[in-house]
Amino acid sequence: MRLSRFFIDAPLSLGQHELPEAQAHYIGRVLRHAVGDAVQLFDGSGQEYLGELIEVGKKSVRVELREAIAGLSESPLRIHLGQGLSRGERMDWAIQKATELGAAEITPIVSARCEVRLKDERADKRMAHWRQVAISACEQCGRSVLPVINPPLELAAWLQQIEADLKLVLHPVAAPLQSHDKPHSLAFLIGPEGGLSDAEVDQAKDAGFHAARLGPRVLRTETAPVVALSVAQQLWGDLQA
């Protein structure tokens, strides 16, 4: 049976811990774990802990962590994904898959053709939701470090501050990814549902981005990061055939 693995948003160490209420409810009431069940916990530091549930109540769960183990290493290729802000499930999908594929940092990008605008309380709720999407993806895929998810940013502001050895904007008429030399860090710019305008592509090029294509077909905004990160990780990262 696969060992249950959970992210705990608090520093962990060997010994006994009372888990936060949300995780306690999920472990005890939703998954119906019992005393004696083995668990694996991680706190995002890169360290993982093996332990056993020693108390499972309606509102509280205690665990005894007995062994510290090294977590899964991060990819040698640090990827910052600038993902065009899109509607609900499409954005969730992009963040989930980018997390699974090893993106180190994700910034939702607000561009001219975005159909979504987030402000104040609504933006805070979406940020919390996206973080939980990334946490769940890390729990599933084995990552020990959460990706950084930044607040939505206007395209011009993101272009001014992004730093990477290689910066690429996806475009259907351009050189393929493999035409570039191996970088240590990579920034990807992917447009929203309506795509990036020609002016925005030119703006990215002026900021040091190179146009790159993934193949002959135009991909949806939520499909593009899956393909782009997969190809980049296979060429220069840790996704080996």
DSSP letters, 24-65, are HHIIIIIS---TT-EEEEE-SSSEEEEEEEEEE-SS-EEEEE
Q: Does residue 156 sit in the same domain as residue 199?
A: yes
Contacts for 36 with CB less than 8 Å, ≥ 6 apart: 52, 53
**211 phi and psi angles, rounded to 5 deg:** -75, 140
Q: Does residue 167 sit in the same domain as residue 223?
A: yes
Distance CA 31, CA 25 (A): 9
Q: Does residue 178 sit in the same domain as residue 220?
A: yes
The pLDDT of residue 1: 52
**43 phi and psi angles, rounded to 5 deg:** -120, 10
| Domain span including residue 51 | 5-70
Give the residue from 53, 70, 87 where a domain finishes.
70
Q: Does residue 63 sit in the same domain as residue 85?
A: no
Q: Does residue 61 sit in the same domain as residue 87?
A: no
Q: Does residue 63 sit in the same domain as residue 89?
A: no
Residue 26, amino acid: Y
**Beta-strand (E) ranges in the chain?**
4-7, 15-18, 38-42, 47-56, 61-70, 78-84, 105-110, 148-149, 153-154, 166-176, 185-190, 210-213
The pLDDT of residue 100: 98
Q: 10 Å Cβ neighbour count for 139?
A: 15
Q: Does residue 220 sit in the same domain as residue 161?
A: yes
Residue 26 belongs to a domain with what CATH number? 2.40.240.20
Q: Does residue 113 sit in the same domain as residue 145?
A: yes
The pLDDT of residue 120: 64
> For the whole model, what pTM was predicted?
0.92
Lookup: tokens for 189: 């710019």
The pLDDT of residue 87: 83
Residue 232 belongs to a domain with what CATH number? 3.40.1280.10
Residue 222, domain member (yes or no): yes
Q: Which residue has the tokens 């502001």?
A: 157
Q: Does residue 169 sit in the same domain as residue 103?
A: yes
Contacts for 17 with CB less than 8 Å, ≥ 6 apart: 8, 62, 63, 64, 65
Residue 158, domain member (yes or no): yes
Per residue of the chain (241 residues), give pLDDT as tens: 568 899 999 999 999 999 988 888 888 888 899 999 999 999 999 999 999 999 998 788 999 999 999 999 999 999 999 999 988 789 999 999 999 999 999 999 999 888 777 776 677 889 999 999 999 999 999 999 999 999 999 999 999 999 999 999 988 888 888 889 999 999 999 999 888 999 999 999 999 999 998 888 889 999 999 999 999 999 999 987 5
Q: Does residue 10 sit in the same domain as residue 107?
A: no
Q: Does residue 120 sit in the same domain as residue 49?
A: no
